[in-house]
Amino acid sequence: MAQVIMDKRDVEFVLHEQLEVEKLAKNERFAEFTKKTVDLIISEARNLAVKEMLPALKISDEEGCKLENGTVKVPEPFYRIYELFKEGEWISLCDDPKWGGQGMPTTISMAVKNYFHGANFPFTLAILLSHGAGKLVERFGTEKQKNLFLKKMYTGEWSGTMLLTEPQAGSDVGALTTSAVKNADGTYSITGNKIFISSGEHNMVENIIHPVLARIEGAPAGTSGISLFLVPKIRVNDDGSLGAPNDVVCTGIEEKMGIHGSPTCSITLGGKGQCIGTLLGEENKGMRAMFVMMNEARLDVGMQALGCASASFQNALNYARERVQGRHLQAGGKDAPSVPIIQHPDVRRMLLNMKAITEGSRSILYFIGFCEDMIRISNDPAEKIKYQGLIDLLIPIAKGYVSDRAFEVCSQGVQVFGGYGYTKEYPQEQYLRDCKITHIYEGTNGIQAADLLGRKLGLNKGQPFRDLLAEIRSTIDAAQKVKGLENLAEKTQTAAAELEKTAGIIGAMAASDKAMTAFSHAYEFMDVTGDMVMAWMLLWRAVVAAQKLQAGAKGKDAVFYEGQIASARFFTSTVLPISLGKMNVITAGDSTVIDIAEDAFGGK
């Protein structure tokens, strides 16, 4: 069975029919990105993904990474792929050409990343971190730092990472102990240990640039006293040439459940007292700066999860069409022939759920990219604020909710294959293993839920949440005018009204003496908000599809559009009623999670 990673038709549908990205070309900033150009970019990305990255997925999983004498060797195919990424300028898709970027719309980059992650997200992880680190230099660096580092990072000559986590701190970044002592020349001597550093060391490049969180001597405790530093693996001279090693040493790589091709490193800084860094941004403003990278990283984690889910679904779909086993449920007689398993009701149930989740998730992530583009081209300050508010509100959904649902899709992808799905003969088990990390890094999904409730729901006095509901209701209004979608619109409208009520209740609870109880329901609140956003996206898709059918779509296009309406029907009819039940749980405010004594959990 040929391995598949993505539904090309669905990618094109979101870009050109749902979001109509070619309209961005009307703005001078994106004038060169016409439909023809966009299609060419997506085609080239797909070719790279299918021909080079996908064949390396299983090999990289089996080979893994090796630490030898302080140097990490990545799987053999990665070296060629990395060179192709550099040659094709795939690392900095949306960035200023002055620094080696392509300047393309973010929406287009989401489609490109969708293919790359579906083909080989353990490899793509290194690229994302390099770009994120470069973004910090671009946003907060001095002119000297930009001139020394930025272009080499954006073009892939050098790579980048993110050094946050420490053994004793975990998600509590404020508890870090890495220290920075100011030197007479304005540089800082850095000392500390960092763990769980994706691509923290590897030999695909000659230098790795590490943004490092550390505390300057005498700075306040907690996150308010954290600063951000730029620490190269190899020191960089003022003329851009490489100098001496910078006392940045990889001390180990993790043996992990998945993403074996991505080296997850432990790093010691200043073990010999010779690690030098330069301040990136202002003193004690490191966490604020790092969140610039964090939002991008969390959106990319959602794309990683979608990549796994999309590939798992496509493989499951093909397998279900080819695997002949069991008679049709309504076949008469013992001699009735066996049929492809896609004809069995439970397999169809799983496939339709996988279809709806992958399609809706794709629309969610691409839409966030579209909001980024609207900020970039808008001249209206109020409009910019609106789109930034939508992005901020949706990031926990993009990372937390999408990765949760994607993992479920990958689990069903194993289930469709039955016993074969549990073996390494097929890729399904790897997608499940690889996808799990998306629940954990860049802020666990529990942290995403707390962020949604504690920060994003009340952001700007709740305006982003009101804007989201307005967008949803606009789509509902459109659906009510399309024959055949009235029932879907009504059900979605009911859920939206209930979510608004639920948000008000849990938001008030979080601001009261019942805050602990409120946050015990934060995960359910993220779930129901995500379900609402998913239902919105699927209804939006259904509106577009129904209009195309009414306009006379034929053949394969007609079948595709009918499939969009089926996805919306399935989700609205089978998932939204469960969401309403979860909303009832939230508004009831049960406090058992908080009330239970620690010893009552058992285990002693």
Cα separation, 474 vs 69, whole angstroms: 60
Cα separation, 565 vs 355, whole angstroms: 12
Rg, Å, the chain Cα set: 25
Cα separation, 203 vs 439, whole angstroms: 28
Cα separation, 530 vs 314, whole angstroms: 23
Our answer to whether residue 442 is catalytic in this structure is yes
Give Cα separations from 189 to 272, 278, 532 (angstroms).
11, 9, 49
Cα separation, 397 vs 375, whole angstroms: 20
CA 13 to chain centre: 20
Q: Which residues pair with 190 in a beta bridge?
A: 180
Cα separation, 391 vs 188, whole angstroms: 35
Residues contacting residue 373 through CB under 8 Å, at least 6 positions apart: 24, 30, 105, 106, 107
H-only helix segments in 273-401: 286-322, 345-377, 381-396
Backbone φ, ψ for residue 467 (5° rounding): -65, -40
- H-helix or E-strand spanning residue 277: strand 276-279
Cα separation, 536 vs 363, whole angstroms: 10
Of the candidates 323, 278, 299, 258, the one whose C-alpha atom is nearest the C-alpha of residue 121 is 258
Residues contacting residue 141 through CB under 8 Å, at least 6 positions apart: 149, 150, 230, 280
Q: Which two tokens stand for residue 142?
A: 């001095």
What is the 8-class DSSP label of residue 401?
Answer: I
Q: Which two tokens stand for residue 369?
A: 């990219």
- Confirm if 344 and 330 have CB atoms less than 8 A apart: no
- H-helix or E-strand spanning residue 454: none
Cα separation, 447 vs 451, whole angstroms: 6
Cα separation, 542 vs 537, whole angstroms: 9
Q: Which two tokens stand for residue 7?
A: 């539904």
Determine the number of helices (DSSP H) and then strands (DSSP E) in the chain: 20, 14
Of the candidates 351, 335, 364, the one whose C-alpha atom is nearest the C-alpha of residue 110 is 364
Of the candidates 167, 166, 164, 253, the one whose C-alpha atom is nearest the C-alpha of residue 203 is 253
Residues contacting residue 60 through CB under 8 Å, at least 6 positions apart: 74, 75, 77, 78, 120, 122, 123, 260, 261
- Pairing relation of β-strands 208-216 and 159-160? parallel
Catalytic residue among 206, 442, 471, 490: 442
Task: Give me the residue label for tokens 């959602």.
Answer: 302
Q: List the end-to-end C-alpha distance of the chain, in Å, as a whole number.
A: 50
Residues acting as catalytic residues? 442
